[in-house]
Structure 1
Amino acid sequence: MKRIKTDVLVIGAGSGGLSVAAGASQMGADVVLLEGHKMGGDCLNYGCVPSKALIASGKMAYGQAHSAPYGVANAAPQIDYAAAKDHVHDVIAQIAPVDSQERFEGFGVNVIREFGHFISSTEVQAGDTVIKARRIVIATGSGPLVPPIDGIDTVPYLTNETLWELRARPEHLLIIGGGPIGMEMAQAHVRLGSKVTVIEGAKALGKDDPEMATIVLDNLRAEGVEIVEDALAEKIEGDAGSVTVRTKDGRSYSGSHLLVAVGRKTNTDKLNLEAAGIETTRTGVKVDASMKTSNPKVYAIGDAAGGLQFTHVAGYHAGVIIRSMLFGLPSKAKTNHIPWATYTDPELAQVGLTEADAQKEYGDKLEVVRFEYAHNDRAIAERKTTGLIKVMVVKGRPVGASIAGYQAGELINLWSLVLANNMKMSQVAAMVSPYPTIGEVNKRAAGAYFSPRLFKSDLVKRVVGLVQRLIP
C-alpha cells in the first residue's frame, strides 16, 4: 500500500472539485485530486453541456420551420437525430481539455484516477494509495434519482446519463418529471421531431414562480409537448419500443422510450463517511455556513452538500472554502444571490425570493414591479415579445427577481449582482443600456419602480411648478 501526505485532498473532479484543485495548487498548496469516473463530472459529460447542445439543435430545427414572420419562407427541417448527437459529443470534446487530467497536472495537481473512501478522520484510500490530508473536500456531485416505481426495473429507461448515447430519434418520448431537466429535454425532442409526453406528479416547474412558469408551459404546449400534471407514476410496464406508465389516479400513457427525470441524489454512498465522523442529512452531507462538515477537517461543496444543485453553486462554494482553507480567514456561503435558469424557449430565471416567498417574509412592505417584453423594442424586432420580469422590492432594495422570456438566463445576471452587493433600485435605474437591447428590460423594470413616484406624485408636480415659476 502506497502512502502519501498532502495539504488538500479533493474527492471528485466536477465543477466544484476542479475549481478547488486549480485555485489551491496555483496558490501554493500541495493538492491531490481523486476521480474514479470522468474528468469534468456530470456537468460536462451528462448535464449542462450536452443538454444545451441538444437544445441548440432543436432551436435550429424550430427556426427553419418558423421563419416566415421574418420574411424567409418556412422550410421543413431535415432532422438527423444521430448527427444532432454527434454535435453534442463534439461540444463536449471541445470543452473537455479545460477539465482534463493533463491540464490539472500542469497546475501541479497529483491526479489519481480512482474512487476514494474514508478510512479515518484524515485519511482516504483510493485504489492502492492512502492519502493523509490536512484538509479534505468532498465534491462528488450527484446522479439521477430513479424512484422505486413498480415495474421500473423491468423496462428499459433513460436518464440524463444514458440519453446521450441514444442514436435513433424516439418516436414518442415519455418523460417522468416536469422539472428543468424534463422540460428542457421535452422541448428539444419535440423540436427534433419526437412526440413527447411529460408526466409530473405535482406541478411542472413547480419550484418557480407559478405565473412565470405558466408563460413557459403555455409555449411548450403550443409547440406540441403534452404536459400532464398531478399525475403520480404508480406502475410501469412494457419492453423496448413500447412502454406504458400508469398513474395513481388510473390514467395511462404509452410511448416508445422513457426518460426518468425526477431529480438528483448525492453521490456519497461509496465514501464510508462514518469512518471520518461525517454526518449526513436526507439530501446530502451536513455542512455549516462555511461548508465544513461535522469533521472540522472536511468540507463538502456543490451537490454533495445537499443544497442548490447547480454547477455555478459548486464553483461559488469552491471560492468560499479556498478562503478558509488556504488563508485561515472566516468565509461563509450565502444563497440569496444565487440565480438559476431553465433553458427552455422562452427561458425561465430566478434569483432571490419569488413573489410568494417575499410576500410571506415582508408582507405590506413588499412592492412588486413588472415589465412586459411586449414593450421592449428589441424584443418586438426579434419577435420575442412573450415574456415578463418581476422584481420584488423592499424599501428601495430588490430582494428577488423572476424573469420568463427571451434571454432570461442572461438578464438574471444583473439581479444576482444587485442582490450580492445589496444595491438599490436607484443604482439599477442609473445604469444606461444601449438601445435597442433585450437588456433594457432590466432598466425598464427599475423605471417601473420609480415612475409612480415621479409621474403620479402631487408633491413632485408642485415642486416642478414652483421651480418653473421662480426660475426665469
Structure 2
Amino acid sequence: MAKFDYNIIVIGGGSAGLVSAYIASATKAKVALIEKNKMGGDCLNTGCIPSKALIRSAKILSYIKRHREFGIKSAAAEFDFPEAMERVQAIIKKIEPHDSVKRYTDLGVDCFSGDAKVLSPHEVEVNGNILTTKNIIIATGARPTIPSINGLGKVNFLTSDNLWNIQELPKKLLIVGGGPIGSEFAQCFARLGSDVTQVEMSPHILTREDNEISLALRQQFGREGIDIHTDTTCKTIVTEDEKQVMVFEKGGQELRVKFDQILIAVGRTANSKGFGLENIGIEFDQHNRIIVDSYLRTTTHKNIYACGDVVGPYQFTHMAAHQAWYCAVNALFSPFKKFKVDYSVVPWCTFTDPEIARVGLNEKEATRQGIDYEVT
C-alpha cells in the first residue's frame, strides 16, 4: 500500500477549505491546508463580513432619516465615510483569529502559506516542497468576473475585492450588475450619500427571484433615488469634459451616464486554473467551474474533490461549508461509506432592505422544473 504524507491536502483557506480541514482534523487525520493569500477567504476579507458591516451603517443612517415614522420628532446624524470603513476593518480583525493559521495549527492542521501546484493526483508542490497525499480537496473559490467593456481597463474600476480600500465616498457611483452583490451595494451607497446608477442587461434586477419580488425591490430602489436601467448593455467608457462617461445601449438608443467611480458586479469566475488541474485532466464547465459528481469527486480522479465557489452551483458561504462536509467525510471514509451531496433545501438571502430570503425553490424555478406548487 502506498504511503503518503497526508490523508488530505486542502487547497484554499476560505470557508470551504477551512471547514474541510476542520472536519478532517477532528477525526485525527493528517491534514495540510495551503492558502496563498489571506486565511478566511472572500467571506471574511472582502465578502459577507465587510459588506454586511457597511450595510448596517447605511441602514442606521436610513432609519435616522426616517425617524418620524418611528415617533421620533427630531434626529440627525453626521456621517463620516472613512470612519465607517475603519469600523469594517475592525470587525474583520475581531473575527480573524477564528480563521487564523494559529487556530488551525492548534487543531493539528499543517498550514502552508504559498502557491499550490498540483503535480499529480497524489502530489502537491508548495514553496518548493512536494507533499504527497491520499486525497486532495480543491477549495480555491472565485473572483469577480470582469466583463469586456471597451475602455474599462483604462479606469480604476472597483470590484467587491478592492472596494474596501477606498476612503472617499463616491459622489456619482455607477454599478454594473443587478445581481445580489450589485443590488446590495446600490442601496448601501445610495443611503450613505452617493448618487447611484445601476445597470443590468437582463429585464429585471435579481433575475433568479420571482418577477414580482424583483419589481418590488426595484420600486423601493426608485423611492430611494437609485437610477436603474435594465435591458441595458454597457458599450464603452469615454472621457467627456474631463469626466468619465459610460455609453449604454438600451432599446436601440444610446444613453450616457457620468460617474466618479464604477463598481463591477456581474458575477464571479471560478479560480480553477493556473495551478495544475488542467495538466492532469480535470474537467471544467463553460463557466470554468470544476465538474464533479454527486459525491463532489472530480470526473477524472476520484481522490480529488472540490467544494465551494470553484464548483457552484450556489456561491454562498453556508453552501461552501455544506459541501465541505461531504468532501471531507467522503475523502476520509470512501469507499466504505460515502454520501451524495444534498441540495434539496437551500436557504439564501439578499441583504437589501427589505431583505429577500427564501428556502428551496421559488415559483420561477418550480415552473421551470415542472413541479406543482401552491402559493399561500
Q: TM-score, normalised by structure 1?
A: 0.75
Q: Which has the higher helix share?
A: 1
Query: What's the offset of the Cα at 1:360?
Result: 4.2
Secondary structure of the 2:257 match is: strand
Aligned counterpart, 1:290? 295
Q: Which moved more, 1:116-125 or 1:69-78?
A: 69-78
Query: What's the offset of the Cα at 1:245?
Result: 1.2
Which residue, out of 358, 373, 376, partners 1:366? Answer: 373
8 Å Cα contact 1:12-1:138 kept in structure 2:
yes
Amino acid at match of 1:287: V
Aligned counterpart, 1:300? 306
Query: What's the offset of the Cα at 1:73?
Result: 2.5
8 Å Cα contact 2:24-2:329 kept in structure 1:
no
Aligned counterpart, 2:30? 30
Aligned counterpart, 2:338? 330
8 Å Cα contact 1:242-1:257 kept in structure 2:
no
Q: Do structure 1's residue 314 and structure 2's residue 320 form an aligned pair?
A: yes
Query: What's the offset of the Cα at 1:361?
Result: 3.7
Q: Which moved more, 1:189-198 or 1:263-272?
A: 263-272
Secondary structure of the 2:284 match is: coil
Alignment map for 1:174-185 (pairs within 5 Å): 174-185=174-185
Tell me the distance in 2 between the aligned counterparts of 1:14 and 1:293.
Answer: 20
Amino acid at match of 2:271: N
Aligned counterpart, 1:384? none
Query: What's the offset of the Cα at 1:238?
Result: 3.5
Aligned counterpart, 1:215? 216
Aligned counterpart, 1:228? 229
8 Å Cα contact 1:187-1:220 kept in structure 2:
yes
Alignment map for 1:75-90 (pairs within 5 Å): 75-90=75-90
Tell me the distance in 1 between the aligned counterparts of 2:255 and 2:305.
Answer: 46
Q: Which moved more, 1:332-341 or 1:48-57?
A: 332-341
Structure 2: state its 5+ residue gaps: none
Aligned counterpart, 2:45? 45
Secondary structure of the 2:169 match is: coil
Query: What's the offset of the Cα at 1:74?
Result: 4.2
Tell me the distance in 2 between the aligned counterparts of 1:189 and 1:119.
Answer: 45
Tell me the distance in 2 between the aligned counterparts of 1:74 and 1:237.
Answer: 45
8 Å Cα contact 1:10-1:34 kept in structure 2:
yes
Which residue, out of 330, 340, 349, partners 2:357? Answer: 349
Task: Spell out, residue by residue over 1:162-221, the C-alpha distance to the aligned partner (whole angstroms, 9 max, x if none).
Answer: 100100010011000011101101111111111100011112111111111222221121
Secondary structure of the 1:357 match is: helix
- The number of equivalent residue pairs is 365
Query: What's the offset of the Cα at 1:226?
Result: 1.1
Task: Spell out, residue by residue over 1:334-358, the C-alpha distance to the aligned partner (whole angstroms, 9 max, x if none).
Answer: 2221111100000011222221332
Aligned counterpart, 1:93? 93
Tell me the distance in 2 between the aligned counterparts of 1:248 and 1:71.
Answer: 45
Aligned-residue CA RMSD (Å): 1.6
Tell me the distance in 1 between the aligned counterparts of 2:327 and 2:162.
Answer: 33
Tell me the distance in 2 between the aligned counterparts of 1:238 and 1:74.
Answer: 43
Query: What's the offset of the Cα at 1:237?
Result: 2.5
Structure 1: state its 5+ residue gaps: 370-472
Alignment map for 1:1-400 (pairs within 5 Å): 5-202=5-202, 203-238=204-239, 242-249=243-250, 250-283=254-287, 284-294=289-299, 295-328=301-334, 329-362=337-370, 365-369=372-376
Tell me the distance in 2 between the aligned counterparts of 1:359 and 1:186.
Answer: 30
Amino acid at match of 2:155: V
Tell me the distance in 2 between the aligned counterparts of 1:49 and 1:224.
Answer: 26
Secondary structure of the 2:298 match is: coil
Tell me the distance in 1 between the aligned counterparts of 2:10 and 2:239.
Answer: 43
Aligned structure 1 segments of 4 or more residues deviating by more than 6 angstroms: none
Query: What's the offset of the Cα at 1:67?
Result: 1.0
Task: Spell out, residue by residue over 1:57-87, the C-alpha distance to the aligned partner (whole angstroms, 9 max, x if none).
Answer: 1011111111112221343421100011011
Tell me the distance in 2 between the aligned counterparts of 1:313 and 1:31.
Answer: 22
Tell me the distance in 2 between the aligned counterparts of 1:56 and 1:62.
Answer: 10
Tell me the distance in 1 between the aligned counterparts of 2:285 and 2:277.
Answer: 12
Tell me the distance in 1 between the aligned counterparts of 2:92 and 2:291.
Answer: 32
Amino acid at match of 1:230: D
Task: Spell out, residue by residue over 1:277-312, the C-alpha distance to the aligned partner (whole angstroms, 9 max, x if none).
Answer: 211111200101110002111001011113111111
Tell me the distance in 2 between the aligned counterparts of 1:359 and 1:265.
Answer: 28
Q: Which moved more, 1:22-31 or 1:118-127?
A: 118-127
8 Å Cα contact 1:115-1:126 kept in structure 2:
yes
Amino acid at match of 1:260: I
Amino acid at match of 1:366: Y
Tell me the distance in 2 between the aligned counterparts of 1:108 and 1:238.
Answer: 55
> Considering only CA atoms, is the larger Rg found in Structure 1 or Structure 2?
1
Tell me the distance in 2 between the aligned counterparts of 1:137 and 1:192.
Answer: 41
Task: Spell out, residue by residue over 1:41-67, the C-alpha distance to the aligned partner (whole angstroms, 9 max, x if none).
Answer: 011100111000000010111111111
Tell me the distance in 2 between the aligned counterparts of 1:64 and 1:357.
Answer: 38
Q: TM-score, normalised by structure 2?
A: 0.94
Change (3 A) 1:158 1:242: farther
